[in-house]
Each structure stands twice: as C-alpha cells, then as structure tokens.
Amino acid sequence: MTFEQQKRLEDTYVMHTFGRKPVELVRGEGMRVWDDAGREYLDFIGGIGVISLGHCHPALTGALTEQAQRLMHVSNYYYIEGRGELSKRLSDLLNMQASDAEPWQTFFANSGAEANECAIKLARLYARRQAESEGSAARPRLIVTLERSFHGRTLATLAATAQPVKQEAFQPLPDGFMATPANDVSALERLFDEVGAEVAGLLIEPVQGECGVYPCTDEFLQAARRLCTQNGALLMFDEVQCGMYRCGTYPFAFQHTGVVPDVVTMAKGIAGGMPMGACSAPAHIAAVFEPGIHGSTFGGSNLAIAAANAVLDTVAAEGIAENAETVGAYLRGRLSELPHVTEVRGKGLMVAADLADGFDAFAITLDALDQGLLLNATGLHTLRFLPPLVCKREDVDALIERLAALL
C-alpha cells in the first residue's frame, strides 16, 4: 500500500486527534527509522520518550518474541512469571539511596495517565483511612498540582493538568484539584496555610516535560516534602516522562534532588515501546488498596512484564544510564552553541531549546523531515529532544549540523 493510500484510509477512518506529519515510518534500528520510501531519519523524539533502548533492540524484541510464543495474557486473577521479580527490582531502584527502607509495592497499568489515576485514588483513599483511624470526620480529598503540568488525558488526570487550553473543551471536569506555580515556595506555603487540612496529595513532575522541559528546583521540592509531611498529605512524583533513566545516572529524577516522595508514577520508557505504566508506594501506604478496590484488565500483562525486565537488564548491562548523563550534557552544550537558540534546559536526555522570536518551532519540525530528522515542538519557540537513551555523540553532531542549516 502506498503512503497516499494509507493517508487516505487514516484520514477517513481514524479520529483526528493528532496532526500527523507527512511521513509513514515502517522500520527502525537504534537511533534511526526509515519511511516507506526507504528514507532514513535520526529520531530525536523517541516515541515521546518511550524508546529507551533504541528502536528494535534485540534484547527487547527477543524477550517479547519468546514470551509471545509461550503466553501473552491471562489477567490479574493469576500469578505470572516475572511480575514479582520486576516489582522487587522497582522497589530496589526506588530505594537505591536508602537500602534499609521498607519495600515499595507497585500497581501495573498501561499508560502514564492510568498510573496517575492510581496515584490520585491512592492519595484520597489513604487520607480517608488516616482520618477514620484518628476518629476524624474530615475527609481530605484535594489534589494539588503545578501550573503548566501535564498528567494525562483522562478526565481526572486532565483536571490535574493545570493547562486551561487543554481543559476547556471538556468542562465540567472532576473537582478536587488546585494548582500552584512551580518553583514558588512562598505560594506553596500560602496554599498549605489556607487549605492544608484539605490536601490529600501534592502531585509534581520533578521535570515538567510537556510545557517545555522545566526542572523543579531542589529548594521547591524540599519545601513540598516538608509541607506534605507537616500536613499529612502524600507527596507524589509523576516520573512518567522524566523517570526510567531519562535524566541520566539514576533511575528516577527525584534521586538527583535528595527528596524522597511517598508515591512515584512511571510509564513511557519503562518497557521500551510496549505499553506499560506503574504506580509505586511504600508498603504501609499501598496497604490501603485491597482486592476489588482498583484494577486493570491488561495492566502487568505477560508481555509488558517481559519487556520491562528486558529493558532493566539491558540498561544495566550496556551502561545506558551513564550514556544518558554524558551524551545529554554534550547535547545541551552543542545546542547552546547554535545561532538563534536563546536558552537550553533539561537533565540527561530530556532537553529543550528555546528559539529567538521569528522562528516557528512547529514549522521547523516539518522542515526537519527534509533534513532526515524527527523533532518535536512543545510551543511556538520551543524544541524538545527525547532521543533514545542509546544516543551517541556522533548522533548529536549530525543533529546540530542539520539543525544549524534549518536555523
């Protein structure tokens, strides 16, 4: 089937929820993908931060093939191979800087939005159980998020996503959500002074991704930890985009800050391209979930578990975390050298570059196709880079050469 035929079919039969670029991708390997005409592209969006090991890494495709030939899905009514091992591995990674801490327990979902839905429900239920145990009539249910945040597109996670432009079409949204400015400690303190008794949880992306890669400061995250502890609220970190070694060195972005949350959500790169999400919490918090109170038909399937275990095996075996750290620093340095780039932000291989007035980042992502680049824009003047974590310096050099021509 030709590209034009495929395009006509999608235009006719697929809902128009994405503005697709005029290219049909059919094959991938490492940092590179090819279209139906055989043209090669360097991939600097990585499936929006999903392709952690690079396209079609043999360890991942091998694990999926082997698992698919044995058992693909049986539901969560049964024990399966690998899920307990993966859960322990995640607990160990979350406790990397505190090996004597209690185990973390994980609920497996299919996406970041589902992982965040789980975190929201967990925070409200935990607050309810705490109030009941204390004989209090109060039922804290407020979830506080940050302005410009992004937590998903279900109704609840959209209500948590403090971007009015994404919310307006779907009003009325579920209530019980409030936003505060990122990195404004005084505003956060005022909020807790006013409504602290009503707060069940504070949900934060340690590095905000969809609005243009803005890291939270250590000072702000430390204040968030202090205020949540003082008010009995859960501090929840959305690591859907910034986790799973995306920020380099450590598995999770919060481990770069010294601040330990009560709940962590993850997805995207955790299974290298296989749909998967997860919500983890220390055992004493997770214990409020009982059989029947939350669930997922497909979450934690045989295939997803096999994929995630293969990703973690390969990250360790091939030094991918260290690569994300060093190549990420190199990428930020090279981007800052480009003409018309006014600011570069990020950690590891989660990077944004702001362009001077007069440059349209969305138009540049289209022009980049002619240069053999897959790029992403998060705003009129902002390019975002989420390449596979196997990205090399020579890939960055090729990006910079082609991007310089575009600018």
Q: What pLDDT, on the 0 to 100 scale, is given for residue 100?
A: 76
> 268 an active-site residue?
yes
The domain 71-317: what is its CATH number?
A: 3.40.640.10
Q: What pLDDT, on the 0 to 100 scale, is given for residue 98?
A: 81
Q: Say how many C-beta atoms besides its own lie within 10 A of residue 100's C-beta.
A: 5
Q: What pLDDT, on the 0 to 100 scale, is given for residue 138?
A: 82
pLDDT tens digits along 208-253: 999 999 999 999 999 999 999 999 999 999 999 999 999 999 999 9
> 7 an active-site residue?
no
Amino acid 352 reads A
What are the residues whose beta carbons fall under 8 Å from the beta carbon of 138, sequence distance 6 or more?
131, 197, 198
Which residue in the list 44, 107, 108, 150 is annotated as catalytic?
A: 150
CA 336, 253, 28, 19: dihedral to nearest 10 degrees? Answer: -80
Please say if the pLDDT value at position 99 is more than 80.
no
> 150 an active-site residue?
yes
Bond into 58 cis (ω within 30): no
In the chain, what are the domain boundaries? 3-57+319-406, 71-317
Q: Lowest-confidence range among 128-137, 158-167, 266-275, 322-331? A: 128-137
Query: What's the CA gap between 256 and 237, in Å, rounded?
Result: 13
Query: What's the CA gap between 29 and 392, in Å, rounded?
Result: 14
Average pLDDT (102-128) is: 98
Q: What pLDDT, on the 0 to 100 scale, is given for residue 30?
A: 98
Q: What pLDDT, on the 0 to 100 scale, is given for residue 139?
A: 84
Token pair of 285 as six digits? 């918090």
Query: What's the CA gap between 361 and 380, in Å, rounded?
Result: 5
DSSP per residue, 329-358:
HHHHHHHHTSTTEEEEEEETTEEEEEE-TT
Please say if the pLDDT value at position 97 is more than 90.
no
Q: What is the mean pLDDT of the chain?
A: 97
Which residue in the list 237, 262, 268, 354 is annotated as catalytic?
A: 268
pLDDT band at 162 (very low <50, low <70, confident <90, very high): very high
Spatial strand order of the sheet with 341-347 comes to: 341-347, 350-355, 382-385, 376-379
* pTM higher than the cut 0.85: yes
Which residue in the list 43, 238, 354, 395 is annotated as catalytic?
A: 238
> Looking at domain 3-57+319-406, which of 3.40.630.30, 3.10.300.10, 3.90.1150.10, 3.40.47.10 is its CATH number?
3.90.1150.10
Closest by CA to 49, choosing from 207, 243, 317, 208, is: 243
pLDDT band at 195 (very low <50, low <70, confident <90, very high): very high
pLDDT band at 307 (very low <50, low <70, confident <90, very high): very high
